Structure 1
Amino acid sequence: MEKNQEFPRFSMPLRGLLLLAGMTTVAWGAFFKWFGAPLLSWLSMHPEVPVDVSSTIYGSFGLIIGFLIFLSGFYPISWLYLIMVGIGGKLISAIWFAVYYADILGWNKRTIFHLGFNEVLWIIILGIVLWKALQVKAYLQTLED
């Protein structure tokens, strides 16, 4: 091991991103679970036509994934698996929305916003946070050896 190797840092803003990702995922999960019909109607290409689709399971899944992402913000180096589960959950959620709901609701600004900002953008951000956490964990393991 080199003595000049720089110590990788997992800064507080990265924890903040984990907490923010968890809170927004919980919020959108709650919207889909408890305000499913009005939300889906608002997201649809034709808001005046009622959407006859349930989003309770999709919302419940979002609530669980959001809670796990939020928990990962407390011990991100030790609980790497929660960040990984969060990324996997966001990926499943994005695919689920694109395959099932976007087909029913139609592609428009609102559905693209939800898919792009609430799912895909957070997958990228969580991937960067995970990469940084893995760097710190690898460095800490070199100190133990």
Structure 2
Amino acid sequence: MKTASSQPEFPMFTMPHRGLLLLSGIYAILWGAFFRWFGPTVLNWLAMDNSLDGWSGTLFYGSLGMVAGLLIFLSAFYPISWIYLMGLGILGKFISLISFLLLYMGNMEWNKRLGFHLLFNEALWLVPLAFIFWRALQVKKYLKSQP
């Protein structure tokens, strides 16, 4: 017969959590690199229009995406110790979403490519990353409570 223990159950930070951090970090780095080095071409492709010449700001947006991706990628190696690195990466990912909306959405019309980029590349990744960050906070809190 099991007896109830007074100690709370240990929260787990599993390898799939780390794998998602690695995958989302690499994904963000690659998309940031596309915008950094091929920015006007990528924006013309997203806008489905070749008349959008002279767009700038892709160097900033791409660099922001690469830095956010690198922070998320590095946090996967020691997610509990480097939890603030993970938080900064997630914040950078959120800021890159907002900056894309502010910098480019005024000149572009909504289409499937743009929807894919905004929803899948930027917004959708925030959900699992927020869950992983929350789980890492739980583990860190549990480890601090142990003698």
Q: Do both proteins adopt the same fold according to a TM-score greater than 0.5, normalized to the shorter chain?
A: yes
Give 1:12 shift: 0.2
1:63-122 CA deviation, whole Å, 9 max, x = no partner? 111111100000000111111101111111111111221222222111111111111111
SS of equivalent to 1:105? coil
Residue of structure 2 equivalent to 1:48: 50
1:66 aligned to 2:69?
A: yes
1:44-67 CA deviation, whole Å, 9 max, x = no partner? 1x4232332121111111111111
Q: Could you tell me whether the CA contact under 8 Å between 2:37 and 2:59 is conserved in 1? A: yes
1:20 aligned to 2:20?
A: no
SS of equivalent to 2:107? helix
Structure 1, gaps ≥5 residues long: none
- State the number of aligned residues: 142
SS of equivalent to 1:53? coil
Residue of structure 1 equivalent to 2:101: 98
**Counterparts of 1:1-145 in structure 2 under 5 Å?**
2-3=6-7, 5-44=8-47, 46-54=48-56, 55-144=58-147
Detail structure 1 runs of 4+ shifted over 3 Å in the superposition. Answer: none
Letter in 1 for 2:79: P
Please tell me the root mean square deviation across aligned C-alpha atoms, in Å.
1.3
Q: Percent identity?
A: 51
User: Under a length normalisation based on structure 1, what TM-score does the superposition of the two structures give?
Assistant: 0.92
Structure whose alpha-carbon radius of gyration is higher: 2
Higher helix share: 1
In 2, Cα distance between equivalents of 1:48 and 1:34: 18
User: Under a length normalisation based on structure 2, what TM-score does the superposition of the two structures give?
Assistant: 0.91
